[in-house]
Amino acid sequence: MSYVQEVIQQVISRNPGEPEFHQAVKEVLETLEPVLQVRRDYQQAGILERIVEPERQVIFRVPWVDDQGRVQVNRGFRVEFNSAIGPYKGGLRFHPSVNLGIIKFLGFEQIFKNSLTGTPIGGGKGGSDFDPKGKSDGEVMRFCQSFMTELYRHIGANTDVPAGDIGVGSREIGYMFGQYKRIRNVFEGVLTGKGLTYGGSLVRKEATGYGLVFFVNEMLADRGRSFDGATVVISGSGNVAIYAAEKAMQLGAKVVAMSDSNGYVYDAEGIKLDTVKQLKEVERKRIREYVNIHPRAEYHEGCKGIWNIPCDIALPCATQNELDVDGARELVKNGCIAVGEGANMPSTPEAIEVFKTNGVLFAPAKAANAGGVATSSLEMSQNSMRLSWSFEEVESKLRDIMINIYRNVRETAREYGCEGDLLAGANIAGFIKVADAMLAQGVV
């Protein structure tokens, strides 16, 4: 059995009941074989055994009182995965499906994604099984305050800097920042995705979606294609999906479908993004309401059917494993030329195989959605310097970062004999930088 397969087996047996974590580890490690064949020093230094083991995992009780005066108890997590190249960095997810395995898969991916940004940030992730949906602002605030009352011990501007993810947007970041500041009595950039009046960066809100489109556009350009005139399907209608749609439209694409966890809307004339923003960002309503405002559009219950809609480009921007082999086959059948992952691990391994064998351009999450964390890193820089850059300045830095990531990933794939395989290129490029830093720092 190869070194890689041995480590994968160890991970599976030592982390039972965590299928998403196994999936993420397998996906990364199996593409590293060509590196490990030439870099025996990584094996001698136990780099793989160490990189799959989080440096620290914190699980804590989060008690809070709901509007009816009842005590509620949720579970909080922070997994500080790897700090070889910088302070732990990665979002917080509030969703009922959150468990340790989900946070570990996200934290593991984050190590390589953060490395790819070219900025000095390590990998971490956290969250809770709390569901913000249907809760009042008061309930969300009390939950966030209770969550931070424990989390504050483990984080800091030079230690671990969380951000948003599913269910954590500017409202939640605001409540958590307020509580951190109150407890610690320091005003520091301990969270990113902050509001613009208290240290947030312009373009952070847009960054993941915009970055995804910059990346995919660069990938399309290699085939002489672009977003201009393309038909695009985007799953999700949250932060990543909305701003991916916005940038795709700015580049001349027509976005015909978006979704939430209940179903999807299809608008053949092109989705009206202002309506989606109003429904999702302001009123916190369901996507089905879109058809009440635009009766020409169709609403369909269930999420998976969105991949049956013919398109040139598909951007899964909702959640893990949302695009399976059936969806992938439908996309291929309908002539889709490119898939760009806005969400983390949205395509199943079988779906990725379908894209590969059918020559569909595939932009893997850890490279394509790195624009969010890259801009978080720019937010950290601005906080440290106590100044703020203009929208144009940050957007241009973001664009440069995404183009650099694309080129780095493409060239790395070429160098290691897997030309065109951006997933392998991303894993290898992200890994080598972290592995070299770990090597230099000894067995820690």
Least Cβ distance, residue 222 to ligand NDP (angstroms): 23
In 51-203, where do the E strands start and end? 56-65, 71-82, 88-94, 122-128, 160-163
Long-range Cβ pairs for the range 355-358 (8 Å, 24+): 355/328, 356/421, 358/332
In the complex, the smallest distance separating the C-beta of residue 32 from ligand NDP, rounded to whole angstroms, is 22
Least separation in angstroms between CB 243 and ligand NDP? 9
The tokens describing 352, both together, are 């990725």
Task: Output the smallest distance, CB 110 to ligand NDP, in A.
Answer: 9
Active site residues: 125
Nearer to ligand NDP, 180 or 243 (CB): 243
Tabulate helix, strand, coil % of the chain (nearest 5). 50, 15, 30
Q: In what order do the strands lie in the sheet with 71-82?
A: 56-65, 71-82, 122-128, 88-94, 160-163
Residues contributing to the site for ligand NDP (CB under 6 A): 164-167, 169, 208, 236-241, 260-262, 303, 317-319, 322, 342-344, 369, 372
**Locus of tokens 């990665």:** 90
Q: Smallest distance from the beta carbon of 166 to ligand NDP, in angstroms?
A: 4
- CB of 149 or CB of 319, closer to ligand NDP: 319
In 3D, which of 154, 152, 191, 155 has the Cα closest to residue 173? 191
Contact predicate 231/315, CB 8 Å = no
Given the structure tokens 């947030």, which residue do they identify?
200
Question: Which lies closer to ligand NDP via its Cβ, residue 137 or residue 228?
Answer: 137
In this structure, are residues 309 and 231 in contact, taking their beta carbons and an 8 Å threshold? no
State the pairing for strand pair 160-163/254-259. Answer: unpaired
| Nearest CA among 334, 344, 342, 338 for reference residue 313 | 338
Q: What is the token pair recorded at 86? A: 């910088």
d(CA 278, CA 397): 29
Amino acid found at 410: R
Token pair, residue 334, equals 């309908």
The nearer residue to ligand NDP, 267 or 322, going by C-beta atoms, is 322
In the bound state, the residue with its beta carbon closest to ligand NDP is: 238
